[in-house]
Chains A and B, each alone.
Chain A
Amino acid sequence: MEHKKYKEWLQLVIAKEITPDQRQLLDTHLRECDECRTELQELEQLMVVLGQRGAPEPSGQLLWEARRGLGEAIRREPSIQSVLTHVTPGAAPVVSKSIATQRSSGFLRNGLGALFGYRIALSSLATVVFGIFVGYLAFGRAGAPAQLASVAQAPIDPVMADHEMGRADIANVRFVESGTDDGKIAIEYDLVRPVRLAADIDDRRMQRLLAYALVNEENPGVRLQAISELKKETRPSPASDVKSAMIEAIKTDPNVGVRRQALRFLGTLRLDGEIKDACLHVLIHDKNPGMRVASIHLLAEATMSGAISGDEVYDVLMDELKKDDDEFLRAQTAAFIQEVSDVQ
């Protein structure tokens, strides 16, 4: 056998992909070949050095930032923000722009809601312009009806006199086109203007701002304070975007304190399908055992009160019972399953 083949097998040893037959032949060769024995030792030492350094794992913070960035990028995707093709019988197809509401919460909608963060403007009448949650997914649904999102104000003219809006800063300059034949270039940029809003918590503008801050603000203290203020709302049911922001927070916020407070907030509401899904998501994905226990308690209360049936969560709980590393959590899950069985 060629010596080169033995050298390849040395690599398969450290890659842990050598077959038993190959290993046997290699061991015979190693008894006689100093060069290969030395090389194998060096390869093993290389693996030790690499193993000690380890593989880089992304932190929760990095994952959160990546998801947020993805939401914002999807918002800028032209294929999303435009194009429903309307075909009138006998006429040429007309392409028109349409916008639609997103159906559900999540980083997509809140990433799309980053439009809100960069394009708020206060008019001289102190009317807040809300971002439009744009999100028609053009996945082959030609002709599907579009639903217009509500808009509080006309689109912003980016070239406004400073005195009209207060001092504005330019951020996030992006080149769209350059080096074209006519010598023109196109860029996009964001106008960032400080804005102050003072209102009580029942004010919808305040709620939407706090909901946005909960999902997008980098400082966890601010996100916690947003939840704390939203809890003070006097209406019995929060607005859908507040609930959506809380759900998004418990699923993706890197700070366990924020996730815990958001879960507590949802625990004060009537448990519906979305909240139940969020609790199950926490149970399956959250790395913090306290969060998983809290979600079990929430599901248990909802089952006891009849808001959900045990069948809806049974499979996930059984899976959790088998897989979770945390003994206390498994005990809590077993107790919950027992309670559910007793009730049913």
Chain B
Amino acid sequence: MTAPNVLVNTSDKELIHRAQGGEAAAFEELVHRYDQRVLSIAASYTHDPDDSKDIYQEVFLRVYRSLASFQFRSEFPTWIFRITTNVCLTHQMRRKNRTFISLDAEDEEQLIYTPIAGAQPQPASPEQRAQNTEIAAHIQEAVENLSPQQRLVFTLKHYEGYKLREIAVMMECGEGTVKKYLFTATEKMRKRLRKIY
């Protein structure tokens, strides 16, 4: 009798073959391996939990529908993150033209804002917290005024920490194009947020 497989130790390739053969557990393991990063990208891009879930669902539905024809021409994570960037770019935000950070406590709990490594810790006084909330609203407004491509590149670079060449692979474009989006986005952010620093 074959010993039970430990799916956690199974390669992506093996899991894909097994999922293509109809094994739900294999597909589930594939999802579990990458879904936190997909959701993280979606959250960074949208800053909205409901939009993040919509993107997450669309990404994995596309993976589910297309897995039968996946032919290993690229690595599985590359493929999944390509789908993620495509879905982000075409996603219609639920709350368009939103200019303020949601004050819905439930939304705030679902997205946890963690200062990026090396940043100064958040000050504790109520006045500073109120100021930070206002700054956050300005940042959000500035991000929402970027084009989808600029926003995506800016998010992937500065929030998710991807390298420019990695972003180029995900977006299926040249590194020069990615740089152009990033430089334009950063320039817009710099000009728009100049008043707060």
- Interface residues of chain A, those whose CB is within 8 Å of chain B, are 8, 11, 14-15, 17, 39, 42-43, 45-59, 61-63, 65-67, 69-70, 73-74, 77, 79, 102-109, 135-141, 144, 251, 272-274, 276-277, 280-281, 284-285, 312-313, 315-316
In the complex where A43-B190, A137-B24 touch, is A58 in contact with B39 (Cβ < 8 A)?
Answer: yes
Q: Classify chain B: how many residues form its interface, as a range.
A: 35 or more
Chain A residues in 8 Å Cβ range of B60: 70
Chain A residues in 8 Å Cβ range of B196: 49
CB distance from A99 to the nearest CB of B (A): 13
| Alpha-carbon separation in the docked complex, A316 to B6 (Å) | 10
Chain B residues in 8 Å Cβ range of A59: 109-112
Chain B residues in 8 Å Cβ range of A61: 109-110
Majority SS of interface residues in chain A?
A: helix
User: Can you list 7 residue pairs at the A/B interface with Cβ under 8 Å?
Assistant: A43-B190, A52-B119, A54-B119, A70-B61, A77-B64, A276-B6, A316-B9
Give 8 nearest A-B pairs by CB, closest first: A273-B4, A51-B119, A55-B159, A104-B25, A56-B111, A51-B116, A106-B28, A62-B110
Decide if B163 is an interface residue (CB 8 Å cutoff).
yes
| Alpha-carbon separation in the docked complex, A79 to B65 (Å) | 8
CB distance from B26 to the nearest CB of A (A): 9
Chain B residues in 8 Å Cβ range of A53: 113, 115, 132, 135-136, 139
B163's contact among A14, A17, A45, A57, by CB below 8 Å, is which? A17
B29-37, B76-84, B90-98, B144-152: which one contacts chain A? Answer: B29-37
A77's contact among B23, B65, B189, by CB below 8 Å, is which? B65
B113's contact among A55, A135, A138, A274, by CB below 8 Å, is which? A55
**Least CB separation from A284: chain B residue:** B8
Chain B residues in 8 Å Cβ range of A58: 36, 39-40, 42-43, 49, 52, 110-112
CB distance from B20 to the nearest CB of A (A): 4
Q: Is the CB of A48 within 8 A of B119?
A: yes
**Least CB separation from B189: chain A residue:** A46
Q: Is the CB of A63 within 8 A of B35?
A: yes
Chain A residues in 8 Å Cβ range of B40: 55, 57-58
**Least CB separation from A102: chain B residue:** B24
Chain A residues in 8 Å Cβ range of B132: 52-53
Q: Is the CB of B112 within 8 A of A56?
A: yes
CB distance from A77 to the nearest CB of B (A): 7
- Give the residues from 102 to 139 in chain B that come closer than 8 angstroms, CB to CB, to chain A: 109-116, 118-120, 122, 132, 135-136, 139
Q: Is the CB of A108 within 8 A of B164?
A: no
**Least CB separation from A47: chain B residue:** B158
Chain A residues in 8 Å Cβ range of B68: 138-140
| Alpha-carbon separation in the docked complex, A65 to B157 (Å) | 27
| Alpha-carbon separation in the docked complex, A61 to B106 (Å) | 11
In the complex where A17-B164, A55-B113, A57-B112 touch, is A62 in contact with B57 (Cβ < 8 A)?
Answer: no
Chain A residues in 8 Å Cβ range of B187: 11
CB distance from A265 to the nearest CB of B (A): 20
Q: Is the CB of A73 within 8 A of B57?
A: yes
In the complex where A66-B52, A285-B32 touch, is A272 in contact with B4 (Cβ < 8 A)?
Answer: yes
**Least CB separation from A273: chain B residue:** B4
A62's contact among B27, B65, B111, B139, by CB below 8 Å, is which? B111
